[in-house]
Each structure stands twice: as C-alpha cells, then as structure tokens.
Amino acid sequence: MSFITRRKSLSASQTQESGHALRRTLSWPHLVALGVGAIVGTGILTLTGVGAGLAGPAVILSFVIAGAVCACAALAYAEMATMMPAAGSAYTYSYTVLGELLAWIVGWSLILEYTVVCSAVSVGWSAYAVGFLQNQAGIELPQALIAGPHAGGIVNLPAVFISLAVAGLLLAGTRESANVNFVLVVLKLIALAIFVAVAGMAFNSGNFEPFMPNGFLPTTNAEGTRVGVAAAAAIIFFAFYGFDAISTAAEEAKNPGRDLTIGIVGSMLACTVIYMLVAGAALGAMPAAELAKSEEPLALVLRTLGQPLAAGMMAAVAFVALPTVIMAFMFGQSRIFFAMARDGLLPGGLAQVSGRGVPVFVTIFTGVVAAAIAGAFPLDEIAALANAGTLVAFIATAACMMILRKREPGAQRPFRTPLWWLVGTAAILGCIWLFTSLPLTTMRNFLIWNGLGVLVYLAYGRAKSGLARA
C-alpha cells in the first residue's frame, strides 16, 4: 500500500530533466492575459443569464461569494506555483505533499475540469456565433447543425469547429498562441467597457425588486432545479476560475517568482472588478427573468435597448474573443496531461514535446475530446461538471499550502500568502460548501468519473509511475 503515500521530493518538483522540460518563453503580461482571457469569457457573457434564473437580482451576491472563495484559492495558488514552477498545477503540488494516489485523483479531476471547460465555452461561443450570423449577416444555419441531441439537433457543429481550431492554434507554439491571446483579450475588454457604458444609461433600480426571490440557501423548485443564491454561486463559480490555468504555465514563465504572482493575483483582482460592473449594468437594464431566457444575455440587453450596432459589436467580439478562454484551458489541460505522463502515471509518449515546445499528442487529444463533448451536451450541465473538478483542485492546493507551511517552514517562498491559516481554511470550507450546492446529478457524475479514474490508476499508473520504477 506504499503507493498511497509515496511522494515526490520538493526539489524534484522544482527541477525537470532535459528533454522533458518546457521552454521558458512567457512574461507576466502574457500570464495576466492568459488569466483574464480564461476568466472573462462564457461565465460573464453567457452564465449571467443562467445565474439570474436561479437567484434573481441577488445573482450579484452569487458573484461576490464565488469571487471571495476564488480569491482565497488564488492566494494559495500563487504561493504554491512560485514554490514549484513546474507544469501540472494542483496535481504537481499534491504529488509532492499529499502522495501519489491523491495526486492522481486531483490530476484526474483536473483533466475533467479543463476538458469540459473547453467544451462549455465552445457551446457558449456557438450561441454567440449563430446569433451574430443570423442577426448581422442574415445567415440561417440548420437547427440540426447548431444544437446537440438534447435540443432536438444532431450536432453543435460550430462548437466542434472552434474546439479543433483552437487546438490547431496551440500547436503553432506557446509564445505565438500567447501573443494572439493577448490581442483578443484587449478586444474583449474594450467590448465589455462599451457594454457597461451603454447599459448603464438605461439603469432601472426597479429591476432589483424582489432582490432575492428564491432565497439564499439552495432549494429545489417545482421543475426539480436547485435555486437560490448559493445554488447560483456554485454555477457562477465557473465564471471566476481560470487563474489556475496560469499555474499550469509555471514551467514556461521566464521569472516564475515575479511573473506568476502578478499573473495569478493581478488577473483575479482585475476580473472581479469587471464582473461587478458588467453584472450590475445588465441587471439594471433588464429584469432578471428576461436575462435568464437567453444564452447571449449581454447582446440581448443591447438589442432590447435599441442598440443593434452595439449588440452586433458584442456578438462579434464574443465571436472573436471567446476562443481565448478555450485557448487558456486547453493550454492548461495539455500541461496536466503532460505532467502526469512525465511522471509515468500516463503513457510516456504523451510527454513528447515538439520543436516549438508544445506537447503535441496531448494537445490534439484534448481538442478532439472537447469537440466531441461540445457537440452533444448543453452548456449548464457541462459547466456544473467542470466546477466539481475545479473545487477539488482548489481544496487540494489550499491544503498543500497549509501542510507545507508546517512541514517545510524554511523552504524558499517567492510569494507568501498573508494570514495563510485563515486564507487556506476559508478556501477549503468555501469550496466544500460550493460543492454541496452543486446539482445532485453533477456530484454523482463526478464520483463516477473519479471511480473510473481510480481503476485506471490501479491498472496502469500504480506500477508504471516513476516512483514505482525507482
């Protein structure tokens, strides 16, 4: 049973053998853009409507709750990523602190998180792309090709297309894709600023009454859906994470101690402000019940306000810039796969790096799987399942930070989490609470996924890992 507790040394997690290491080509502006690109996306552009349907105008509180939990987790990530600037994120931290079996479970959960996030954002992009083509270009696409079987279609072809297109861009090289991401993030922020300005002029305080129609704690309505502020926070949580994708780029940061701290903390602070402004403007301009009916709520607000040009611009920018979210998470997923393969828990061939510094096989695999899920499943189910994997990773990272403070008090820490005992405890308890607020079917599917993962580990990883061979 030693495989349960065997751990990598801290020094082994800080250095990598040549031939299996990634190139250090990213500086802090690239990392901030990666974080903002991952965080500001489908969550605010699409899930604002979903959250409003669950919590009413009190969805603003849902944003605050989810943001507070993510802020605590972000501080823990900043400390761990600067201590262990290697690919793998929470998986790598867990392998060093908690042991191989728990590291596998965390890594398996991260694979789920990043893959289904790519799929969820692809579905969100598809909604904006279809709306843009119909409203601006007058192009009507067949229903069978723009919706999965759940909505009476055959396949969501635009969602499949964008997943594969982003995978192709990532294959071009890390720095090249990061530069494209930076430009698209700037476009996205300009569009959101214009939205706040236009919607703010139509602000109506009456749209905030009643403020909390479904209560605070999760309850089940007549349709069998969990509603309330907490239930909405558990879904909207999807809108805040993304900074963890920065930690997967730790091995490619030029100056990890500085760049990772600025990237993780800076992107989280910037996005919290952006979300509060956008959500407040949207709810002030349109009743929550109307927002809940659309998969492109921000564009709907602008069209309703008689601003077709601004609505077209919002749809166009979403059409162009939402792929930055897919890019960030597909980047992260490929690095998780890469780290697990490098450690021997997955086939070693997956750890091969191209001349451009890209793990080719795992990038292609991620793109294909994400495309398959996006083509068949609805946005809300995908987002909820992604949240479950993220919450486990956040809990593991906060726990690793706290344990290492006791186990390795003298270890070098380029960034030190303030009030670490309070921040770490708040992150863990907050994530557990959000996990229990998820739909019951999501928790069931997540447990099934990890049950399958344990079987895969026992059949392959337990005997093939680098520590086992050593």
Task: Report the SS3 class of residue 146.
Answer: strand
Specify the pLDDT at position 228: 84
Specify the pLDDT at position 260: 81
The pLDDT of 313-335, averaged and rounded, is 76
- 128 pLDDT band, cuts 50/70/90, is confident
- 456 pLDDT band, cuts 50/70/90, is very high
Give per-residue pLDDT as tens, 96-114: 999 999 999 999 988 887 8
Give per-residue pLDDT as tens, 375-414: 776 656 666 667 788 889 999 999 999 999 999 888 888 8
The pLDDT of 217-224, averaged and rounded, is 76
pLDDT at 152 over 80: no
Q: d(Cα 381, Cα 238) in Å, to the nearest integer?
A: 12
- 136 pLDDT band, cuts 50/70/90, is low
Q: Print the SS3 string covering 210-276.
A: CCCCCCCCCEECCCCCEECHHHHHHHHHHHHCCHHHHHHCHHHECCHHHHHHHHHHHHHHHHHHHHH
- 21 pLDDT band, cuts 50/70/90, is low
Lowest mean pLDDT among 249-253, 370-374, 395-399: 249-253
Question: Phi and psi at residue 156, in whole multiples of 5°?
Answer: -85, 85
CB atoms near residue 151 (< 10 Å): 10
pLDDT at 344 over 70: yes
Residue 63 is which amino acid?
Answer: F
Specify the pLDDT at position 425: 95
pLDDT at 340 over 70: yes
Identify any residues that bridge with 146 across adjacent strands, giving them in sequence order.
156
Identify whether the C-beta of residue 336 lies closer than 8 Å to the C-beta of residue 88: yes
Look-up: residue for tokens 């002029």? 201
pLDDT at 16 over 70: no
Specify the pLDDT at position 18: 46
Nearest partner of 42 among 310, 237, 333, 195, judged by Cα:
237
Identify whether the C-beta of residue 216 lies closer than 8 Å to the C-beta of residue 48: no
Q: d(Cα 386, Cα 47) in Å, to the nearest integer?
A: 14
pLDDT at 39 over 70: yes
Q: d(Cα 363, Cα 357) in Å, to the nearest integer?
A: 12
Specify whether domain 23-216+224-469 bears CATH 1.10.3720.10: no
Burial class for 139, CB neighbours closer than 10 Å (0-12, 13-18, 19+): exposed
The pLDDT of 14-39, averaged and rounded, is 69
- 31 pLDDT band, cuts 50/70/90, is confident
* Cis peptide, bond prior to residue 210, ω within 30 of zero: yes
Identify whether the C-beta of residue 198 lies closer than 8 Å to the C-beta of residue 310: yes
pLDDT at 291 over 80: no
How far is C-alpha 35 from the geometric centre of its chain's CA atoms?
9
Q: d(Cα 414, Cα 80) in Å, to the nearest integer?
A: 9
Mean pLDDT value across the chain: 80
Lowest mean pLDDT among 204-213, 278-287, 308-317, 405-414: 308-317
**CB within 8 Å of 13: residues ≥ 6 apart:** 84, 86, 92, 93, 95, 96
Specify the pLDDT at position 335: 82
pLDDT at 173 over 70: no
CB atoms near residue 9 (< 10 Å): 8
Q: d(Cα 414, Cα 205) in Å, to the nearest integer?
A: 46
Per-domain residue ranges of the chain: 23-216+224-469
Burial class for 7, CB neighbours closer than 10 Å (0-12, 13-18, 19+): middle
- 151 pLDDT band, cuts 50/70/90, is low
In the chain, the N- to C-terminal Cα span, in Å, equals 16
Specify the pLDDT at position 168: 85
pLDDT at 58 over 50: yes
Helices (H) and strands (E) in the chain, counts: 22, 2
Q: Highest mean pLDDT range out of 39-53, 188-202, 261-275, 394-408?
A: 394-408
- DSSP label of 343: T
- DSSP label of 141: P
Question: Phi and psi at residue 26, in whole multiples of 5°?
Answer: -110, 135
Q: Highest mean pLDDT range out of 33-47, 66-80, 148-162?
A: 66-80
- DSSP label of 417: -
pLDDT at 367 over 70: yes
pLDDT at 14 over 70: no
